[in-house]
Homo-oligomer: A and B are copies of this chain.
Amino acid sequence: MQFFQRQISLQARNRGFHLITEEILRAMPELKTLKTGMLQVFIQHTSASLTINENADPTVRLDFETWMNKAVPEGDPDYEHDYEGDDDMPAHIKSSLMGASVLIPITNGKLNLGTWQGIYLCEHRNRGGSRWVVISAWGN
């Protein structure tokens, strides 16, 4: 079995949900050599996250941000951790709700996503800056 791994920096994005499937694929061309395998993308931050969701209509990504901001409100006086502003603690909570990684099967050298699936970078900070991810792929 083969194992490939690479660390890359994703360009800074605005707060919100962003499709990054193509950027990940470009960074790991070796996955084309795997007949059956797995790809993991792991984000090395606690105020941004990764998830898999709808890859077509941009309003889905907008509505994710809308819902998130209602579910994890800013400025709750009960938060104790707020050094870095009102978006600080909510960003930590949102990142655990979505998760720090996605794990996707590889079949015949391609990510075996459903037709409507894509990888989202979820940027929970107002000014998160560029984000590091570790991409790992293994299989035969």
Interface residues of A (CB under 8 A from B): 1, 3-5, 7, 36-38, 40, 42-46, 51-54, 57, 59-60, 62-64, 66-67, 71-72, 76, 78-81, 83, 89, 92-93, 95-105, 107, 112-117, 120, 132, 134, 136, 138-140
Residues of chain B with a CB closer than 8 A to A138's CB: 1, 38, 138-139
- Cβ-neighbour of A113 out of B7, B44, B78 (below 8 A): B44
Do B64 and A96 have beta carbons less than 8 Å apart? yes
Give CA–CA (A66, B81) in the complex, Å. Answer: 11
Per the bound structure, the CA–CA distance linking A44 and B117 in Å amounts to: 7
Given contacts A3-B139, A45-B114, A60-B89, 15 further A-B contacts (CB under 8 A): A5-B36, A40-B105, A42-B112, A45-B117, A51-B99, A59-B80, A63-B79, A63-B89, A63-B93, A64-B93, A64-B96, A67-B72, A71-B72, A100-B117, A101-B102
CB-CB under 8 A for A53 and B134, given A79-B63, A89-B60: no
Chain B residue at smallest Cβ distance from A91: B54
A97 with B100: CB separation less than 8 A: no
